[in-house]
Amino acid sequence: MIGSLDLLLRLLTAAALSGVIGINRGRLEWTAGLRTHMLVAVGAALAIIVSAFGFADVLNNPHVVLDPSRIAAQVVTGVGFLGAGTILFVERDQIVRGLTTAASLWAVASVGLAAGSGMYVGAVIATAIIWVILALLKPLERRLTGKPKRRPRLTARLTGSSALSVFEKALGEHHLPFAKTILRREPDGDDVVTVLFTRPVRRDQLAVLADALRDLEGFKSVSYDAPEDKARRS
C-alpha cells in the first residue's frame, strides 16, 4: 500500500506540473486555464494511484489479477471527450478553434498519469516539452506557415419568401466557382446568406455580382470580402 507522504507527493507533483501548462493557457485566455489543467492532471494521477494500489487487499485472493493499465487507458479516452468540449467551429471565419487546448488537456492527463505512477523524471521532462511547444513554438509556427488567407466571400441579407431563389438564380448566372453556402435565419425573420468562393475569384468579379444583387427585390444589404481588399458594404 502506498504511504500517505508518497501519495501527497505524487498528487502535488501532478498539480504543480499541470499548473505550469495551465498558467500559459490561462494567460492567453483560452477556454481551459489553470484550474482546468490542474484538475485533469490531479484526477488522472489519482486514477492511476487507485488502479495500482487501491485493490491491494484483494490481490491475495486466488484468481485475482490486477492490470493498472486499464484505468490509464480509460483516463486517456475520457479526457478526449473533455477536450472535445473545448473545440469550437467559428462559422464567420470558417475555422476550428480549441484544438490546441484540447491537446494540452490530453497531454497534462498523461503528465498526471506519469506523476501518479511515480515517474517523476518523465513527468517533468514531458511538462517541459509541452510548455515549449505551447509557449515558444507558436511564433515559429506563424513564421513558417503564415496566416491563412480568408476565402473570397459574399454576404447578403434577404427578406421575403422568394428572395432566396432569386439569389440562387443570380449566382448561377454569373458562373463564379463557390465552395460553400451558409444560410442563417435571423430573429427578425430575415435570412443571411454567405457564399464562400474559391481563390481565383477576384475583387472586381465580386463587385459586379454585388451590384447586380443590390438591384434585385428582397435584398436589404450585400457585402463582399476578397483576400486582397477590405470588405465593401452597401
Instruction: Classify 107 as helix, strand or coil.
Output: helix
**What local confidence, expressed as pLDDT, does residue 134 receive?**
80
Claim: this prediction has a pTM higher than 0.95:
no
13 pLDDT above the threshold of 90: yes
230 pLDDT above the threshold of 50: no
Residue 101 vs residue 221, higher pLDDT: 221
133 pLDDT above the threshold of 70: yes
Phi/psi class of residue 146: alpha, beta or left (left: φ > 0; alpha: ψ in -120 to 50)? left
Residue 122 vs residue 80, higher pLDDT: 122
**What local confidence, expressed as pLDDT, does residue 149 receive?**
61
What does pLDDT average to over the chain?
78
Residue 111 vs residue 217, higher pLDDT: 111
Return the H-helix or E-strand segment holding 134.
helix 120-135
What backbone torsions phi and psi does residue 36 show, to the nearest 5 degrees?
-65, -45
Mean pLDDT of 173-182: 80
Contact between 154 and 219 (Cβ < 8 Å): no
Mean pLDDT of 185-212: 83
Site of grid cell 507533483: 13
In terms of Cα–Cα distance, which of 230, 233, 206 is closest to 221? 233
Query: Which tens digits make up the pLDDT trace of 41-65?
Result: 898 898 888 887 776 666 667 776 7
**What is the rounded distance in angstroms from the CA atom of residue 51 to the CA atom of residue 84?**
25
Q: pLDDT tier at 95 (50, 70, 90 boundaries)? A: low
